[in-house]
Amino acid sequence: MRVIGRGIVKNKKKSFGANGRVLDKVVIPAWRIRIEELIAKARALIGRLICFRSGNTRPRIVRTVRMAFAGTNVSLSQPDIMQKLTERIDDLKQRIAAWGKRIRRYTERSTRFNQNRLFQSDQKRLYKSLERPIVSGTGPAPNQADMVAFWRSLWSEPVNHNEGPWTEVVASQCASITPMDPVIITPDDVAEAVRRAPNWKSPGLDGLHHYWLKGFMYNSVPNCKDRQLDLVLSACSDVRVTGADEALTSRRSP
């Protein structure tokens, strides 16, 4: 394994194709390797937190839980520690989802770029890479009458839903759970959360960039979607007009 620029080449030896051409090397960016390591550590931490929440109080588990809440005012002896554990686990799951979304966006974009470049250079090689092996059975072909009888017997069978006693047990256990207080997110909360975030990054699952969240400041909650749409359209029109004015100015300048 050797480092090339900001990426890492995994295969050391050169691989040759059927015509003697050197195949492209698999280059993994360093940031992707770091994110994969963060995901692995977060998953391991989630497993330790779940073990502690289930009643496992081994010294190694307790030590990991203390490290997870380091720098906060959360103590393992406080009465609402189970709620804090659940919140911490949910936070880690959301981080893993955001990291995975970033890797998937990069993979999709890289795949499109490589396929477009290969289409321009060697279409035959592209189509050959898109082929999939044909999976065929080795036994005799099924009889049409047997297939019709089989599916007809399944579709005509009456369905009887059997709700076992365990459903009542679960319902009785969940009856004592108090509902969570409604969470009201204000525009000030959103502005404070994205104040230090990069403008053109979209870690969320919705793919929305932070630049637009920083500009979404509306006065009332109703009709917020219309206000967001108007703000986006006005911002795009301002960018187009500003770009055209700057282009004209640069052309007219000696």
* Domain-ending residue, one of 97, 114, 129: 129
Confidence of residue 58 (pLDDT cuts 50, 70, 90): very high
pLDDT digit string, tens, across residues 194-243: 888 888 887 777 778 888 877 765 433 444 545 555 555 555 444 444 44
Position 19 pLDDT exceeds 80: no
Domain count within the chain: 2
Of 98, 48, 118, 107, the residue nearest 208 (C-alpha): 98
Angle between helices 123-130 and 81-121 (to 10 degrees): 140
> Is 147 inside any structural domain?
no
Q: Which two tokens stand for residue 180?
A: 């969570």
Same domain, 9 and 87: yes
The pTM of the full predicted model, rounded to 2 decimals, is: 0.49
Domain of 73?
2-129
Of 174, 128, 94, 117, the residue nearest 18 (C-alpha): 128
Same domain, 110 and 193: no
* Domain-ending residue, one of 104, 129, 154: 129
Same domain, 94 and 12: yes
Same domain, 114 and 200: no
The answer to whether 191 and 212 are in contact (CB under 8 A) is: no
Mean pLDDT is lowest, of 18-22, 179-183, 192-196, for 18-22
Same domain, 192 and 121: no
What count of other Cβ atoms lies within 10 Å of the Cβ of residue 48? Answer: 19
Q: Which two tokens stand for residue 155?
A: 């579709």
Position 74 pLDDT exceeds 60: yes
Same domain, 115 and 19: yes
